Structure 1
């Protein structure tokens, strides 16, 4: 947990600790806790000396000397306590720095691999819970607990019966602590699950606010959200009631026990078996001996929550280990191949693609056509490495995609999905993929290739215009053209465009076709999931998909002739007999859409 040397978390400043120092810091907290626990004896020993030495001798110098010593010890105690608190805060921040990048990457990967098990933002909330507990008073109480037996042993040194009462009180408080653990574990776990569910529903409602408002669904979704929120509140209240109730019982018991020890000390003084100093000192010492237990009971709810959060977070991180590549492959330049590609959506069992094979060389454009649900978008996701094949491979310049690190592969891939998602940042940041090293020339080149430069210059702040979440400042067509410019940024070798002209007007479509022509001349590979016939004017090959299988693949003219019902030569990779390729065309292969 603390030994991660990832470069993304190795930066430190004056207020945090690097991952390599976290274990050292924990040892430091233990040493500081030992010093604080020893110095907590100051009050008891000072009272013992006052009653047994100062009062009988009536010595003012002795009183002043003892007072000066006690003041110095209290000062050191406060200093060490402060240092322990500050060190725990640094540990909490260090843990956050050590785990936040991996947690973020796990959140991003989860819906791509296991959408049915997607935990939303729960891992981040778990990390916040861990950090919050580590910086609270709870860990200090846990570090003080091992000193309880030492305090009880010192009570035995004062007198057997005082030690017996102290030991019995400590046992009762430990039982109360275990009771808190048993009673609060389940409501705390259920509360966390319900809180995550309610938060995800609220986020989904926010993303679909227009649909909820237009169709009058808001009240019904609000009812479902309130039900999940009620589950969270009930669990939270149950855990809080247990912690509060047991904590109150522990506090009352400790106060009563402290008075009982004082009474026991008075009885021993009357019997001549103890001094007045021992009577007072034992009462103060017992209060200190049981304080860590009481404080642990009060913080037990947070401890259970942090422990459950760590268990969930650890399981999440173990599911998504980082794969570091020791060798960086050269930039691709030859082409892309799909070999017997069978694809199953994450979390599903039904194949979306079966035995799909094709090759596209540098400087070629492949159009993938087919009716809705034929597997075009699934193929696009597989070609850029979003979904992993169940069987077969996608190779870029002969190397399977899983041999490329995602970040390095991303430099050579331009991807335009059906569902456009822009981020809260400027137009330039979105187009440059938020690269800090992106030059203005590269950004403008991408926008000019997408035919967006003049349009962006007409925005209030030009390239510095902030788009807001989901690119709300732009129309659907403008968002698609910005996303196209983002895909074109840096002239990536592989361009996968999923229905890139679905929201484009005539000017936007002309810019798209011109961009494909320029890219083809530069030796780029374009794979376009087509829904409009106009895109076919710039393609070299056409692949026909239906029900996840290749129904035809070949040169553009050959495939188009077959789709028109004419006799065509044998198709490469076809899964149908040649005589069936001349059947009447499936007009649903090209469904025109209204541009924006």
Structure 2
């Protein structure tokens, strides 16, 4: 199904869930009316007629209505929980994708904050806030019944609910700026602390932990102070709202007594009106009391949807059926993430199947960034990148046809087997074949649990072991394009010889291979062409026959 189709389906499903929740809420409110109705009929009918059968019938009806209301409330809670989980998963998926794309553009901190916003939205939808909003349906039902009892009852309840709503608006108006500032400061300080603690070994090794925490403490304290100020104002207004709710019921009793004395209302209607006034005021009071969760959730929702929209996937170029096979790059311009320096200017490149293109140049020339740009991992100023006529930015194409070895042999949390098969559903045999292809099988066999050995940043694997696993992952599935960033890093002579054989076999099988190296002589016998990068963004191609071993 297309993304557009999934979006329409999601919206239709969400609308259906909302309609069902509203329907259940109407049923709950109808069941709640049983209590004031029973009270009124007992005082105005049963006590006058002293009819036991009538009392029994009313009691049975009351029990049935209350039981039905409890069942409907339970079903609504289950439905809200299921809908919240589904919406949360969709938001989390969108936030993760946007975070990765934002990080590729150089904005890592905002991605971390977006994941926190997902938790805030889920807390709003799954907590008491959603139920309180649905319970607001009680208000018009209770007020309508009060008007039926007597117009004065109805107008009194309307006045009380309006006053409570005004208190809620006052709470929002007086604390909105503080809440927004507190959340921004909290996100900023959390991102700053997370970034600093990422270098925990350096902090301990150089004795920088105390100084780092002292530098961060004012940032965290500012967020706490703003949050406390908002909560103090909110608690004061919540106190006024509680007082207003109690006063409404007392006023209703007073007015009811006056109407009974004037014989314009019955004693039963007085008690029913008091109960209905409480039913009308309670949801409004709860919404006022939970306004902070609502405000935080709405603010998080707005930030999250804006972040996802800003970091939406780029539109892919249509397939060019007439394009020749291999990798073709046209007018590709690569800059630093902040756009202040051009690393590669207007690169035009054609690498045929069965070719090995070596990339070399001084430190800081943009070799690794160029590889990332070729795969669409980082933003570029201009240019096209196609493999066999397909846009290389398509995730499905990269997963099936591209093998990538980033600098630093990045492994994810999971087993060695999971990492090699890219956390897909492929069988173990394909992962073992990839490991054999690059000479990693024996090294993996010597690990404590073999292919089931945990990988990732906390795995304890050596640099060479991590490099071998990452190479096996890159070669998994016999990709048509291999992009290798310093593939020989951390390997001994025997492993490098096996790597050379793997690259030669992939080349002979028709793959396009692009690799970055600081030792061109190591690859002199395999490279068919060299791309030399200069520090000023200039570049030139040199056939391997003419390049020799020139660095």
Q: TM-score, normalised by structure 1?
A: 0.85
Equivalent in the alignment of 2:507: 520
Give the distance between the partners of 1:77 and 1:429, measured in 2 at CA. 49
Equivalent in the alignment of 1:33: 25
Cα-to-partner distance string for 1:204-226 (whole Å, 9 max, x where unaligned): 34432111111122112223443
Q: Answer yes or no: is 1:170 the counterpart of 2:158.
A: no
Give the distance between the partners of 2:344 and 2:474, measured in 1 at CA. 25
Aligned 1:100-119 pairs, distance under 5 A: 100-113=92-105, 115-116=106-107, 118-119=109-110
1:29–1:340 Cα change, 3 Å: closer
Equivalent in the alignment of 1:451: 439
1:328–1:342 Cα change, 3 Å: closer
Aligned 1:69-108 pairs, distance under 5 A: 69-108=61-100
CA contact under 8 A between 2:42 and 2:55: conserved in structure 1? yes
Equivalent in the alignment of 1:568: none
Equivalent in the alignment of 2:269: 278
SS at match of 1:65: helix
Give the distance between the partners of 2:461 and 2:305, measured in 1 at CA. 40
Cα-to-partner distance string for 1:310-368 (whole Å, 9 max, x where unaligned): 111211222244578798889x9932233332112344232111122333222222221
CA contact under 8 A between 2:95 and 2:111: conserved in structure 1? no
1:325–1:117 Cα change, 3 Å: closer
Give the distance between the partners of 1:193 and 1:150, measured in 2 at CA. 40
Cα-to-partner distance string for 1:220-277 (whole Å, 9 max, x where unaligned): 2223443333233334333433333322221122112212221222233233333221
Give the distance between the partners of 1:52 and 1:510, measured in 2 at CA. 99
CA contact under 8 A between 1:553 and 1:559: conserved in structure 2? no
Q: Answer yes or no: is 1:58 the counterpart of 2:47.
A: no
CA contact under 8 A between 2:189 and 2:220: conserved in structure 1? yes
SS at match of 2:136: helix
CA contact under 8 A between 1:96 and 1:131: conserved in structure 2? yes
Give the distance between the partners of 1:324 and 1:356, measured in 2 at CA. 21
Equivalent in the alignment of 1:256: 247
Gaps of 5+ in 1: 11-17, 564-588, 590-596
Give the distance between the partners of 1:409 and 1:333, measured in 2 at CA. 19
Q: Cα offset for 1:49?
A: 1.4
Match of 2:298 among 287, 290, 307: 307
**CA RMSD in angstroms, aligned pairs only:** 2.7
Give the distance between the partners of 1:248 and 1:385, measured in 2 at CA. 55
1:104–1:4 Cα change, 3 Å: farther
Aligned 1:165-564 pairs, distance under 5 A: 165-322=156-313, 334-402=325-393, 405-437=394-426, 439-467=427-455, 469-470=456-457, 472-532=459-519, 533-560=521-548, 563=550
CA contact under 8 A between 2:260 and 2:267: conserved in structure 1? yes
Give the distance between the partners of 2:142 and 2:270, measured in 1 at CA. 15
CA contact under 8 A between 1:365 and 1:525: conserved in structure 2? yes
Equivalent in the alignment of 1:576: none
Match of 2:36 among 32, 40, 44: 44
Match of 1:132 among 94, 104, 123: 123
CA contact under 8 A between 1:187 and 1:235: conserved in structure 2? yes
Cα-to-partner distance string for 1:128-185 (whole Å, 9 max, x where unaligned): 2222222223223223335424423433333343333322212211111111221232
Cα-to-partner distance string for 1:22-62 (whole Å, 9 max, x where unaligned): 21121111112222222222222222112211222233222
Q: How many residues align?
A: 547
SS at match of 2:404: strand
Give the distance between the partners of 1:252 and 1:173, measured in 2 at CA. 10
Give the distance between the partners of 1:353 and 1:498, measured in 2 at CA. 17
1:266–1:110 Cα change, 3 Å: same
Q: Which piece of structure 1 moves more, 174-183 or 504-513?
A: 504-513
Give the distance between the partners of 2:276 and 2:331, measured in 1 at CA. 76
Q: Cα offset for 1:546?
A: 0.9
SS at match of 1:193: helix
1:369–1:119 Cα change, 3 Å: same
